[in-house]
């Protein structure tokens, strides 16, 4: 009997996917593409926005676009915790969704962080001036 894993893809607000009898997972990590098999060592990997592929049951491949997150393998259980996810069969559509949704959101977050940093530095300057006067 072939060894299998249970895959859970978790979002901040819900369980996106739970699948048992997974025989293989391929994900994109920060250092490149890597595979996860049932009898491989346990581990943790940071995930950038990308495509996660897994096989379950009758060797059918399922594709999931994931926003950045973390993949954790412990024994025969793999948990993927990401900010957002989309499932589909058309890789071109999923890749486009990553570029449009996930990467655009990252740019927006960078803009917001930049504005917050400017506000914080302005507040610190005003407090320093107030304290000095």
CA distance 31 to 107: 21
Q: What is the pTM of this model?
A: 0.72
CATH topology of domain 5-132: ATP Synthase; domain 1 (2.60.15)
The continuous run of DSSP H or E covering 4 comes out as: none
* High-pLDDT (> 70) share of the chain, %: 76
Mean predicted confidence (pLDDT) in 82-100: 80
Query: What phi and psi, each to the nearest 5 degrees, are found at residue 118?
Result: -65, -40
């Amino acid at each position: 009997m072939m060894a299998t894993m249970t895959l859970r893809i978790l979002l901040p607000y819900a369980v996106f996917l739970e699948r048992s009898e997974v025989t293989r997972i391929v994900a994109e990590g920060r250092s490149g593409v890597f595979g996860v098999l049932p009898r491989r060592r346990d581990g943790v990997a940071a995930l950038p926005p990308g495509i996660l592929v897994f096989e379950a049951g009758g060797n059918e491949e399922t594709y999931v676009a994931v926003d950045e997150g973390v993949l954790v393998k412990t024994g025969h259980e793999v948990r993927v915790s990401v900010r957002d996810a989309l499932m589909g069969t058309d890789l071109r559509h999923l890749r486009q969704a990553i570029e449009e949704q996930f990467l655009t959101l990252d740019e927006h977050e960078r803009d917001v962080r930049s504005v917050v940093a400017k506000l914080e530095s302005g507040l610190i300057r005003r407090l320093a001036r107030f304290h000095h006067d």
